[in-house]
Amino acid sequence: MKLPILMYHYVRPNGMRMSERHHVLDLDLFDQQLDVMAKKYEFILGNDLLALDNDASALENKIWLTFDDGYRDCVDYVLPSFLEKGVIGTFYIPTEAIFERKLLDVNKIHILLSSRATPKEIVRIAGELYSELSLEADLEISFDELFARHGVANLWNDGETEFIKKLFQKLLPTEIRKKYLTNVFDQFSERSESSWVDEFYMTPDDVQTLIDNGMEVGSHGHSHEWLAEMTVDRQHDELTKSFAHLDSVVNDGKVRSMCCPFGSYNDDTLNILRSLDVRIGVLNRIETYAKFEPGAADLLELDRIDIMFFDKFINGEFD
């Protein structure tokens, strides 16, 4: 069987972007997409897949919409559009941000990249702080060497932007990386972290509102870190915390769904999820339908289609 699963992040009016470099899907375009999809598809949720039999026609003309990161966009803009049009979807939330009200590193990076400084200026300041914090001696690699290896442009980012994301997401040991990012972030943001938290993320009550309106909620990790970069024990702690928070608001057994942050996972991740009775998992390999065998013990490696490829998808240009 195969199923289109679409992956969304920020959905808001263009005028609500932090800057021109803040990549959002404009709300008007989102509404247009929903109208186009409604003419061709029936919307389903992840848990619906567990009830499938061996009839391949069960997924004919079905589509599953997913939303990552727990942004306020989900209740401010997405939910009203859904209710108006009779659409349902799944919302994957990083529980540290929602329930413990902490600003995630991934969003500190978004704020940096949306600041008045250019990516080149951010790299320059990061290089200066790298020296001030004596990181070259601690890590046995120079800042210039790191940039030469990882400052490589791709489909989404110029070289400096790609380097900033990698540097503060995964290249350095966790404790060093977090302290370093905080130092760089403080150079560009005069606001308190709590004010950013309230601007970025839903509250636990908002999560309950989604559920009360027939939506599905799943885990996007606890702290939105690269799971494959963690030890087994740390992965277990990360995932156990996340599902404990979800269980505190949903007690119907329908939060056993996982979206791996950055699409990062390994065999340890899958084994831990199985031990937690998680049976549905989505990835982000961006340009392919999810393919799976009905009746499988679990469906933990389902591919999704990045919404940036919506036109190619809706026009049938890949499968």
Handedness of CA 257, 72, 17, 314 (dihedral sign): positive
Indicate the pLDDT class of residue 255, thresholds 50, 70 and 90: low
Question: What is the predicted pLDDT for the residue at 288?
Answer: 82
pTM score over 0.75: yes
Nearest to 110 by CA among 48, 205, 19, 28: 19
- Region 92-103 average pLDDT: 96
Amino acid at 192: S
Q: What is the pLDDT of residues 161-199, one digit of tens each?
A: 999 999 999 899 999 999 999 999 999 988 888 899 999
Q: Using CB atoms within 10 A of its CB, is residue 263 exposed (0-12), middle (13-18) or buried (19+)?
A: middle
Indicate the pLDDT class of residue 51, thresholds 50, 70 and 90: confident
The domain limits of the chain are 2-102+200-314, 116-188
Distance (Å, whole) CA 316 – CA 318: 6
Q: What is the pLDDT of residues 205-229, one digit of tens each?
A: 999 999 999 999 999 999 999 999 9
Class of the 2-102+200-314 domain?
alpha beta
